[in-house]
Amino acid sequence: MAVTLASRRTARRLAADAGLLVVAAAFVLPLAWVVLSSLDPHADLRVKTPDGLTLDNFDAILTPEITFTPLLNSLILCGSATLLTVVCAALAAYPLSRFRSRFNRPFLLTILFATSLPITAIMVPVYALFVRVDLIDTMQGTIFFFAASQLPYAIWLMKNFMDGVPKELEEAAWTDGASSLQSLIRIVLPLMGPGVAVVTVFSFVMMWGNFFVPFMLLLTPDQMPASVSINDFFGNRGMVAYGQLAAFSVVYSTPVILLYVLIARRLGGGFALGGAVKG
C-alpha cells in the first residue's frame, strides 16, 4: 500500500515536472529563435544553430531611420505616459485607501469595468474626439491616451500597496503639522517603494509593446515608436528579413530589460516599515 502511494506521488511529480518543462519550452523557444536568428546571416523561421556568426543584421538596423529615432519616440511616449500614470494613480489611490466612503466601492468597480473594455472598441470615438480637439498626430495626445488607458490598472495596484502602509505613521506626521500631500510624498510613497516600482514597470511594459494605439493616433512616420516601425520588416508578398527582424527585436527589448534590472532590488526589497509602529 505504501509502495503504491509513493509511486502515485512520484508519477504526479513527474507529470507536474513535464508540464512545467512544456510551459518553459513555450517561452524559451521564441527567445532562442530571436537570439540565434539575430546572429544568423541566413535566418528563417526555424530555430537552428547559425550557419555562421555575424553582426551584419545589427549593422543593417542600427541607423537613425530604422532604430534610433523610433526608440527615442518610444522612450518619450512611454516614459512620459508612465510618469503621468504613476503620479495620477498615487493621487487617486490615496483617498481611496485612507478615507472610507460609500462611493469607494462603486468607484473601484467602475474603473474595474473600464479595464475590461477592449481597446479596439473605444478607438473609433477616441479618434473622432482627438480630431476635434486637434490632438491627432501629436505626441502629447498619444501620451495622454496611453496614461488614461493604463490608469485603471495602476489605481487598483497602487491602492492595494498603499493599504499596507500603517495610517499611524501619517497621523504622527499630521500631529507635527504635515499636510495630507506632504505625508503622501514623504511617508507613504517612500515606504511603498516596491509597489511604486511594480506600477511603474507594469505600466511601462504595457505601453512599450502597444502597437494599435500609436498606429491609430500618429500619422507622421517620424513620430512612430518602435512598436509600430517593427512592422516595416515585413515586406511585400510575404518577404520578411528575419535576421534584421530578430536583431531589431533584441534592441527593442533592451530598454525594458534594463528598467527591470535597475529596479529589481525595489521589487524584492519588501516594505521598509521595520519597527516604525512599535511601542
pLDDT at 177: 79
How far is the CA of 200 from the CAs of 67, 147, 157, 163, in angstroms? Answer: 24, 12, 10, 18
pLDDT at 223: 92
* Structure confidence by residue, pLDDT tens digits, 75-84: 999 999 999 9
pLDDT at 271: 45
Q: Are 207 and 86 in contact (CB under 8 A)?
A: no
Residues of the chain with pLDDT under 50: 237, 269-279
- Cβ-in-10-Å burial (0-12, 13-18, 19+) of 253 comes to middle
pLDDT at 107: 79
- Residue 224: all three cell numbers together: 512612430
pLDDT at 266: 59
For the chain, list the domains and their CATH numbers: 74-241 (1.10.3720.10)
3-state helix, strand, coil in the chain (%, to 5): 75, 0, 25
Does residue 266 sit in helix, strand or coil?
A: helix
